[in-house]
Structure 1
């Protein structure tokens, strides 16, 4: 059954005009009155059955049906902060991280970042990546849409971080000597995971992260691409008890 993100309150038996994005998607699929769909608003584990009641030229009305709670979200909430890879690799990273259940994504500019964004261009990129995350949630069955936060420099982001809470931890993907294997670390229910761009973080940047409470971890002896490393870490964090 087609699934659509509908960022509005969903109430059983209500008649609802779908927001523009969902309405366009319904029309692209050539759905008709009487067709069944699934709605979710990205804020809970609930999703709702719904039925198309009217198809306009640019608007779609549905009747919201029964709610059901699903269990598709990872038990551990992981917030990914990543030095943005170049070209279309960030799109791919956002899509796959969403499929893996990431809680949020923070795009960062770092010393070795190829992609440099600011102002209106940065805002447009973030809006685009948020739409990529929404589409990935619609496809994969996730009901919590990860927030793609505004672009910051690494230093800005570290400075703005709140004091670490006891039920969360901060992990830095690093190749430096002494980094513990991620799979061997005891983990909490919430984590912030920092990963660099192509070429990784610079030594001074890693030192800054360590001073901000991050612990260095490793995925093994191989050097992975920036987007591969971040996704391998998310997979590991999702699978570990």
Structure 2
């Protein structure tokens, strides 16, 4: 049986005994219904994972002891920052979940001219928290020991103007370049995915003026939730862990 892989944002060291936080304890005690004597794997996002034994298992309290540390990592050698214009319904949740599974390092939700999502400040803050929780759950599921950073949503133009040494890419079905024609990125990749309605002409010009290169993956126009995952897969195959 696979040992459950759980995120616990706490300082961890060999031999220590402590109570898990509410989220981890709830998952262990109420969802998985694990018992004392069973083992779990904890990670705190700082690298590696800790094998722990459950000492007390209840619905409100789960106490564990750290038995050993494993330096195992499954991070991609390619740092990828996705700039994703916020999509409607559960499409954004899906994109974040699957992008984490595919090894993305950072995600910034963006507002563009044709973005169909309008949220008040309080609802946007709750959405941001929800997206980070989705990223944590995806890391637990796929065995990552690092947490993808979900940045606070900002305007597209702000993100385009951020200083970076990364290779900057935008997906476009009629672009001259393909991923195979790109030189291997030396400082990671930032790539931009637009909304259901696409970018305006002004936004496309702005992306070019800020150093973004149009790339194509084929002749078809991809949906926004398909585009991010397709580009991520192609980048990992060409320059990241899928190609090794």
| SS of residue paired to 1:240 | helix
- Find the aligned partners of 1:179 and 1:224 in 2 and give their Cα distance: 17
The one-character-per-residue Cα deviations of 1:150-181 (angstroms, maximum 9, x if unpaired) are: 1111123223x12x32xx21111123x44311
CA RMSD between the two structures: 1.3
Which residue pairs with 1:135 in the alignment?
137
- Find the aligned partners of 1:203 and 1:22 in 2 and give their Cα distance: 46
Contact in 1 for aligned 2:26/2:59 (Cα 8 Å): no
| SS of residue paired to 1:9 | coil
Contact in 2 for aligned 1:4/1:38 (Cα 8 Å): yes
Structure 1 residues without counterparts, runs of 5 or longer: none
Q: Which of residues 84, 91, 94 is equivalent to 2:93?
A: 91
Q: Which of residues 220, 223, 226 is equivalent to 1:222?
A: 220
Which residue pairs with 1:146 in the alignment?
148
Which residue pairs with 2:230 in the alignment?
232
1:125 aligns with 2:123: no
**Runs of 4+ that moved beyond 2 A:** 156-159
Which residue pairs with 2:103 in the alignment?
101
The one-character-per-residue Cα deviations of 1:69-95 (angstroms, maximum 9, x if unpaired) are: 223111101000011111101111111
Q: Which of residues 34, 42, 46 is equivalent to 1:39?
A: 42
Which residue pairs with 1:181 in the alignment?
178
**TM-score normalised over the length of structure 2:** 0.92
The one-character-per-residue Cα deviations of 1:129-166 (angstroms, maximum 9, x if unpaired) are: 1111111111111111101111111123223x12x32x
Contact in 2 for aligned 1:3/1:38 (Cα 8 Å): yes
The one-character-per-residue Cα deviations of 1:177-199 (angstroms, maximum 9, x if unpaired) are: 44311232112141111110112
Contact in 2 for aligned 1:117/1:151 (Cα 8 Å): no
**How far did 1:68 drift?**
0.8
- Find the aligned partners of 2:88 and 2:175 in 1 and give their Cα distance: 29
Q: What is the 5 A alignment of 1:156-171?
A: 156-159=158-161, 161-162=162-163, 164-165=164-165, 168-171=166-169
| SS of residue paired to 1:53 | strand
Q: 1:16 to 1:183 in 2, by over 3 A?
A: farther
State which drifts further: 188-197 or 129-138: 188-197
Which residue pairs with 2:70 in the alignment?
68
- Find the aligned partners of 1:14 and 1:152 in 2 and give their Cα distance: 41
| SS of residue paired to 2:145 | coil
Which residue pairs with 2:208 in the alignment?
210
| Number of equivalences | 235
**How far did 1:98 drift?**
0.5
- Find the aligned partners of 1:206 and 1:17 in 2 and give their Cα distance: 51
Q: 1:83 to 1:208 in 2, by over 3 A?
A: same
